Amino acid sequence: MLENILDCQNILTSKRIDYTFCLWQSINNKQPGLRALDPNIITKFEYENFTQNPIFKKVLDSIDMTKFLQPLDFGIWEHLISKKSLVLAQSPHDLHPSSLANFDYFRTYMKSILDDKFDPKNNLQELEKKAKVFSEYYAKLSPIEMSSIFDLEISKSSDMDDAKKYFFGIWDKE
């Protein structure tokens, strides 16, 4: 993944294209699918071992971190699970971040960048309302309804229920 980021940065820089990167999930996630609980994340020990590799270290050090919305260990997935209201609007069958999570991520991290480059539109309340309505509708779809609309790999409803219990326990302590 780091090599792809560096390649993209080099191409964009060579063409003098202004850009900002964001991630959908932490680069420390090392699994092909995303689990809500017990994520398969690279440990601090594994990461330190990686940084001992001169090639890995050279690639990592060559990446311009100022071109990211946030650190490489934080993406839209981490944004989603950091807010109870976003998890509540999440589908129990499709773990892709909901429309509301995408909207909240946009408002939190991206809008100010776009406002500096373009004439801002003052329709955030309308957009948030639409994202919330759609997310709530989508979260209520059954696996059969979802699979008839989309060709999706449907997760078990209990996976999201377990995740909500886990994250609500964290938020309730705060």
| pLDDT (tens place) for every residue of the chain, 174 residues total | 788 899 999 999 999 999 999 888 777 765 544 455 455 566 666 777 777 889 988 998 999 999 998 888 888 888 888 888 888 888 877 778 899 999 999 999 989 888 888 888 788 888 899 999 888 888 888 877 777 666 555 555 555 666 666 656 655 665
Chain centre distance of CA 98: 10
- Asked whether the CA dihedral 125, 128, 132, 134 is positive or negative, the reply is positive
Contact 23, 1 (CB under 8 A): no
Read off the amino acid at residue 129.
K
The length of the chain in residues reads 174
Q: Which two tokens stand for residue 130?
A: 């639409």
Contact 109, 70 (CB under 8 A): yes
pTM: 0.69
Contact 83, 90 (CB under 8 A): no
